Amino acid sequence: MKDTIIWLVHTPAGTVGLIAAAVALYTKKGSALHRKAGNYFTVSMLIMLVVGFVAALIKESPADMILSVVVLYTVFTAWLTAKRKIVETGILEKVAIAWIIAVAIAAFILSAGRSEAETPSIYLFWAGFAVFCAVGDLRNLRKAGLTGVQRVIRHVWRIGFSLVWTALALTDKIIKAQGSDVKEMPVDQLFYIVGIPTMLILTITLYWIINILFFSRKKFSRYGGLAK
């Protein structure tokens, strides 16, 4: 059942999400096509992540469950940041911060109940990341919504983070479809199949952050809702 869910829903939705993200990256920011691609990305990613959570629940994998709910949060808040008008927040921002605080608590509890052999460090990583996100959310709420460049940077890095894990999930499925496993692959093959896509996404994300901060600050400071 888990494999059926993965191959019929999870993987196709993730693929659509990556294609939509590519379209959004290479179209004019704030344009109708950019907004439409962003909406397709958000919907497909949310479907992929909910299905991924169900699959992780079936196979009783807490680490994959945590990963699913964290990336679901980053996708949703990236979309919400762009959707809101300047200096606007609402109930959804409060739901998001409650969600990520709950993730932090769950991750801390999971790390405390794991032996060294069961890699508690991964749960501590997610707990720390969740706390980092919660601090950003509190800042957003305190300011009743970020403005200009701050909003765009928040949108971009959360999209980039989500894309990295989407690419990793897709490459993992490709490897498994070939009857192999990440742990068994030679380092050079792992670099081409996993390393290059990941580094490409990180590079593009970093490019946009640097571009927004240092070269297009004036342009992006005027941005209101990006996905209306």
Instruction: Give the separation between CA 50 and CA 69, rounded to whole angstroms.
Output: 8
Which pLDDT tens digit goes with each residue over 153-189? 888 899 999 988 888 877 776 776 666 666 666 777 7
Contact (Cβ atoms closer than 8 angstroms) between residue 185 and residue 195: no
Which DSSP category does 85 fall into?
A: P
pTM exceeds 0.85 for this model? no
Question: Sorting pLDDT into bands at 50, 70 and 90, what band is 117?
Answer: very low
Question: Could you give the residue ranges of the DSSP H alpha helices within 59-147?
Answer: 62-83, 91-112, 120-142
Mean pLDDT value across residues 204-212: 88
Residues 66-98: tens digit of each pLDDT: 999 999 999 999 988 888 776 667 889 999 999
Mean pLDDT of 26-50: 84
**Count of CB atoms within 10 A of residue 188's CB?**
9
Mean pLDDT for the stretch of residues 121-133: 90
